[in-house]
Structure 1
Amino acid sequence: MIYSILVVRYNGELNINTDEVKSTQWIHWKNWLQQIETSSNLYSQWCIEESYIPERSKIFKEWLSQINSYPPKSNETDFF
């Protein structure tokens, strides 16, 4: 089950602590929202509820509209 979602812009290599993080995935935000709708049994209720909070944010929507590629180019990283 997924318990949290991290949405950031990062310029560098990902250094994942495998004791803390089981997996990561590049996914466009709109695809993520579709995925939690169609496969809700894979995610905690908290994760699903938290996923809709950014949708109410004007700043988040503006930021999201500037992202053009997934996975990002090597010099820009958007991690979800």
Structure 2
Amino acid sequence: NLEDAIKEHNSVTIALSKCGVTDYKRHSTAVKAVLSDAVQSNHLRIKLGDPLLRTESVNTDLNGNPIEFGIAHFSGPIVTLNYT
């Protein structure tokens, strides 16, 4: 399944390929500023309450069918997200 493939390969693209998805596109990405909780602070090695950038993304197959939804947190002061 996709979740296991992502854990094994640490790559959405490779995991989707292993699940038979030969090509896909990013449908959307939403970015929001949030404050870190205890778990996020521990994982990212930052202080509790430090600012984070939270992304929620949806990938679709080439027919527009959703195939993957992801949430990621990035340490706000050290990450720049560039969209084109």
Name the TM-score, length of structure 1 as normaliser: 0.23
As a proportion of its length, which structure holds more helix? 1
More strand by share: 2
TM superposition score normalised by structure 2: 0.22
Larger radius of gyration: 2
